[in-house]
Amino acid sequence: MEEKHEQFMQAALQEAQQAAVIGEIPIGCVIVKDDQIIGRGSNYREHSKLATDHAEIRAIQMANQALQSWRLENCTLYVTLEPCPMCTGAILNARIPEVYYAAADEKAGMAGTLDNLLNDPRLNHQAIIHKGLLQEESLKLLKSFFAQARKKS
């Protein structure tokens, strides 16, 4: 079972690597239903100039289109960095019941680090959270990206 989850997180890491290649912060996301990836996304804010163009939002939109529904109730989301407040809101609104993330986000993480919106009982939906899957690989990619960015500036 763990192998399957690692395979999907590897797919999210591939999305993150593609973002890095084009100069975006390397965050990637995939959404899975019935062991099939139905949504993919990577950060695209710098290119689109849209504040909402995060990996999770792009993957959710693709999955919504694939299922022709705003509800992603039987899906699992895999993302390389802990979701921010906006993305946790989108996850909850899409009714995604389970989230795996690789690395914690100490500046914006809302799935257990700064707060935990995904498990807030005051909200009408919650999600099961799995932390740290392929964390080292995600952190290595992020650290490398920011080290290169510092060299350029």
Judge whether 87 is annotated as a binding position. Answer: yes
**C-alpha of 40 from chain center:** 9
The C-alpha atoms of residue 49 and residue 99 are separated, in whole angstroms, by 27
Q: Any bridge partners for residue 78, and if so which?
A: 30, 100
Q: Which residues pair with 39 in a beta bridge?
A: 31
Listed in sequence order, the residues at least 6 apart from 13 whose beta carbon sits closer than 8 Å to its beta carbon are 28, 80, 102, 134, 137, 138, 141
Answer yes or no: 98 catalytic.
no
- Of the residues 24, 56, 82, 137, only one is catalytic, namely 56
Using CA atoms, how far residue 145 sits from 24, 104, 142, in Å, is 9, 17, 5
Taking residue 109's Cβ as centre, other Cβ atoms within 10 Å add up to 22
**Hey, which residues are catalytic here?**
56
Which residues are documented as binding site? 54, 84, 87
Which residues are documented as binding site for Zn(2+)? 54, 84, 87
